[in-house]
Amino acid sequence: MLTEFYGIIMTIVPIIIIGAVFARQIDTRYKNELAFHKAIKGVFFDDKCYQPVKCSSEKLEIKDLYDIRIRKPSKSFNKKGSEDVSDELQDLYGKLEKATKSDPYK
């Protein structure tokens, strides 16, 4: 009887430990995926990045998970209002100045 008991314990315990480790890894990945989801909406709509995601204008990345290639627009979707975009205006005026100096059709 004792031999069977030891046999059962020795089989079940590693299975439970391996399962628990595996479950923990999946749980971490699930949390990271949800963080990614939040970060994607944050980057495009509110110009915010949430931990543990690393955000740049070309890439969203979580270490040890994966990265997603993106193209971040110059202005986030929820940041609107035409009269207070001084950077945007300066940029446009710079391009306008170049455009008036040279004719692209020549």
Partner 1 sequence: MVFLKNKRGSILILSAFLIMIIVTSILGINSIYGNLCNIISYQNKADAHMLSVIGLYVETLDKVSWINKQLRRIGALAALIPFVPQLAPLVTFVQKITGGLETYQDLLLIRLKTHAPVLDNELRLENKLSVPGNYHYFEYRRQPPIDLIFMVIPGLIEINSDIFNTVCIKHKGLITGSMACVDNNTHREEKGWFAPTEEDWNVVMNNAY
Which residues bind to partner 1, rule: CB under 8 A?
1, 4, 7-8, 11-12, 15-16, 19, 22-23, 26-27, 29-30, 33-34, 36-37, 40-41, 44-45, 60, 66, 68-75, 77-78, 80-82, 92, 95-97, 99-100, 103-104
Sign of the dihedral through C-alpha 34, 37, 39, 41: negative
Q: How far is the CB of 100 from partner 1 (least distance, A)?
A: 4
Nearer to partner 1, 63 or 69 (CB): 69
Give Cα 57 distance to the centre of its chain: 11
Contacts of residue 61, defined as CB under 8 A and 6 or more positions apart, other chains included, come to: 53, 54, 67, 68
Q: How far is the CB of 63 from partner 1 (least distance, A)?
A: 16
Report helix, strand and coil shares of the chain as percent, to nearest 5: 60, 10, 30
Q: How far is the CB of 43 from partner 1 (least distance, A)?
A: 8
